[in-house]
Structure 1
Amino acid sequence: MHRRADAPPPRPARVPRPAGGAGEGRRARAAVEHGLVSVAVGARGPRGGDKRDRILKAAVKVFARKGFYASRVSEIARAAGVADGTIYLYFKSKDELLTSLFEDRIARLLTLLREECARYDTAPDRVRRLVEFQLGLLEGERDLAEVITVNLRQSSRLLKQYATRRFAEYLDLMAAVIADGQRSGELRGDVSPRIMARVIFGGLDGVAMTWALGNAETGSLRRAASQFADVLLDGLRATPNAAALPPQEP
């Protein structure tokens, strides 16, 4: 049987459950969500090492405090405890530093999101987890949230890369989760998975930016994530009158 040309993207590959049972998995997830595992800059191999990570972490603080354009490489070097010239051993420019910060962060985030999707059996649960997990990670990293939602927009070069590479991987993951739910009959079939992926991203980005720039109380981002997921799923769940198949992808 041949798949229709307008059929939704394939279901994302499931990731094996971690060894140690459900209790260990819950503890690992709790560690990530409470900031014990940073997604800003992951562990690096011989190419980078601790010094590269220190520079990236320092850049987050400086960019969040002063903004991308007003920040100087010398300030980042001072915050990282390295000489100015050391920055250029790892990054050719301030733009490349911001690019690397984003790519490290989104690569780690994609890995974690795929692992989270594999832990849930239903499409609505996966959608909810994608929303709550992403915003939950930012709850303890306000500086990172500000850099990701505000400072990225100040670099046109990065935005172009952002829209064509890592961002495409992120949207593919979101769209695959939606399409999977459409095939199972759990999510309505009369919406485009790709359009919904963009809607989800836009909503998450707006919630995170408003939170990062405001004076929100502790826990408010998690509460917002729960409400966002509720409203999203109210509109996405399948109804008896919904079309059986999604429209052709734009």
Structure 2
Amino acid sequence: MKSVDKHGKIIRAATKVFAKKGFFNARISDIAKEAKVADGTIYLYFNNKFDILISVFEQEIGRLVDQMTTLLAKEDDPRRMLEIFITKHLTEMKKNRNLAEVIQIELRQTNKLIRDYRNNKFSEYVNIVSSIIKKGQEENVFRKDILPGIAKRAIFGALDEIARIWNLNLETEYTVEETAKQVTDIFQLGILAPGEKKPEG
């Protein structure tokens, strides 16, 4: 009989193994060993290694989507919402370095596989940024000429690079709060509509 707990255990083990060895070098047996289950047990829950990778994204990124949505629901100012997204994302990436590593490496190494997988949680997660940009434009807080699709990738790209540096243990003298404020200011001052002021804080 399948166990929800064992499924989660395998996902956590896979996240760690993918982060350490990379998707292509990781073996099912490595994941089984890390999860402390038999190799055959993996196939009770997953069809193959790619299925596990997608499940890592679905579960871990799905958790971030839920947490981010809850946080943003408490705020109405698009400027503060963008700051909240940036701060929360950086906090999570610093706290869960295995997940950060999986996001960074696998989005590049397995990009064709990811492209072939539609409606994934990662797209939903990044689209939170474009929805904030659109809200700001509708309220005349952000410039109307900014393309939300470009803005979300530029912002996420900056956050991804910062997380990558953290994973390499470089430039770690800055706190999450300091880093989040710098990134927020850089983007906000570029996308704010004329006459708008950045949020106090």
TM-score (norm 1): 0.70
Q: Deviations over 1:186-212 (max 9, x none)?
A: 222221222212221222222222222
**Pairwise CA distance, 1:100:** 0.6
Task: Map residues 1-250 of structure 1 onto 2, 5 A cutoff.
Answer: 48-161=3-116, 165-217=120-172, 220-240=175-195
Whichever of the two has the greater Rg, that structure is: 1
Name the SS of the counterpart of 2:163 in structure 1. helix
The separation in 2 between residues aligned to 1:151 and 1:92, in whole angstroms, is 19
Residue identity opposite 1:113 in structure 2 = M
**Pairwise CA distance, 1:56:** 1.0
Q: Assess, with a 3 A threshold, how the Cα gap between structure 1 residues 47 and 223 changes in structure 2: closer, same or farther.
A: farther
Contact 1:150 1:209 in 2 (8 A): no
- Other-structure match for 1:29: none
Contact 2:2 2:44 in 1 (8 A): no
Name the SS of the counterpart of 1:150 in structure 2. helix
**Pairwise CA distance, 1:90:** 0.7
Residue identity opposite 2:157 in structure 1 = G
**Pairwise CA distance, 1:154:** 2.2
**Pairwise CA distance, 1:138:** 1.5
> Relative to structure 2, which stretch is displaced further, 132-141 or 156-165?
156-165
Q: Assess, with a 3 A threshold, how the Cα gap between structure 1 residues 206 and 87 changes in structure 2: closer, same or farther.
A: same
Aligned-pair identity (%): 37
Contact 1:95 1:155 in 2 (8 A): no
The separation in 1 between residues aligned to 2:27 and 2:124, in whole angstroms, is 31
Gaps of 5+ in 2: 197-201
Q: Assess, with a 3 A threshold, how the Cα gap between structure 1 residues 222 and 66 changes in structure 2: closer, same or farther.
A: farther
The separation in 2 between residues aligned to 1:128 and 1:212, in whole angstroms, is 22
Name the SS of the counterpart of 1:82 in structure 2. coil
Q: Deviations over 1:8-66 (max 9, x none)?
A: xxxxxxxxxxxxxxxxxxxxxxxxxxxxxxxxxxxxxx975111111111112222222
Name the SS of the counterpart of 1:139 in structure 2. helix
Gaps of 5+ in 1: 1-45, 242-250
The separation in 1 between residues aligned to 2:40 and 2:112, in whole angstroms, is 23
- Other-structure match for 2:199: none
Residue identity opposite 1:159 in structure 2 = I
**Pairwise CA distance, 1:220:** 4.0
